[in-house]
Structure 1
Amino acid sequence: MELVVIAKPYANAIFELAQQDKSYLQWKMVLDAGAQLLIDEQMCKFIAFPNVLKQDKLSVIKELLKSILARELSGHEVTFIGILLNNNRINALPSIATLFESLINTTNDAKMFNVISAYQLSELEKKQIVRDLTNQYNKVVNIDAVIDKDLVGGVIIKDGDKVIDMSIKARVNELELRLSKTH
């Protein structure tokens, strides 16, 4: 069966749960982190290994997610991962994450931004950007962080056609333009 078909009821259930307490961002982060874990070949082998109890797999995944997210998982989040493991659906996690994000983006409460930086943003930096954008737009904000080695520092935030350029490169270009006008 195609993973999207398997993933849809799970994504819908998590979306309904997230709607209750507006925990869209927390769930998105858990789902994205879980999807990232499944990219790792060793993790996939570990999950597929039949001699490891599902409870032990859950413990390992829980600890890895705790490390990635820099926080404890909620009871609902642990239960969800456990359900996926028990139903042999953990491999659908990337599809669940994608569908969940689509559901978030269809709500009037959500806005998606692309954030480009010179380096990997820390979770704290991402949270600060999300918090600032949430306050500015008064909507649930999701960010897709991308690294651009050509940037010296700072960030560029894109919202469709709108660009907020807070990069050092933009500041240097602006200074260069000002200097060229004075001569």
Structure 2
Amino acid sequence: MAEPQFTVNVATPRAAPPCAKPVNIEAVDTRTPARMRFAVLCPDAGGWRYEYVLRASVSALVAVTAAPVAAGHMLTAQDVTLERRDVTTLSDAISSAEAATGQASRRSLRAGEVLRQAQLSAPLLVKRGEPVVMLARFEAIEISTSGEALDAGALNALVRVRNLANGRVVRMRVIGAGTVEPVEIPRSAQP
């Protein structure tokens, strides 16, 4: 989230009796900011305990649709803008236009709708049945051969590929449009 702002209100305001020592505050339930419970305890000999319900709201700058978006549409910079919105109940709001750009909408979206990761999917860089370049790199050595994708996949997805030179089917990682690399080669070995 970009530039988050928090507002907290006490939903059960009640005045606690005086306490000679500083009070202790314990979190009882903080699973959701929309409804949290805290206990205030007085450590005096005849101490007391009061529970308070607090309601918090969180707003932040998040990516929203600038205009209606059709299902399956690949988002461009013109489709996305940043606006301050209440994100208290949204766990997967996208915080930058760049993070949404280039992804496809899974369903139709209204103008001004907060973009959430669950609504978007990464574009397919490898499509089933299409030719791919099988590329293996290790240090200064690079080997490539032709293959046929047996699965579709987005960036970093694992797909099955048939090596056209020998007919073997191997698992490969998508690294670019129409390009895959062996899963067995550690990512750190790639340039």
- Scaled by the length of structure 2, the TM-score of the pair is 0.21
Q: Which has the higher contact order (CA 8 A, sep 6+)?
A: 1
Q: Counting strand residues as a fraction of each chain, which structure ranks higher?
A: 2
TM value normalised by structure 1: 0.21
Give 1 or 2: higher helix fraction.
1
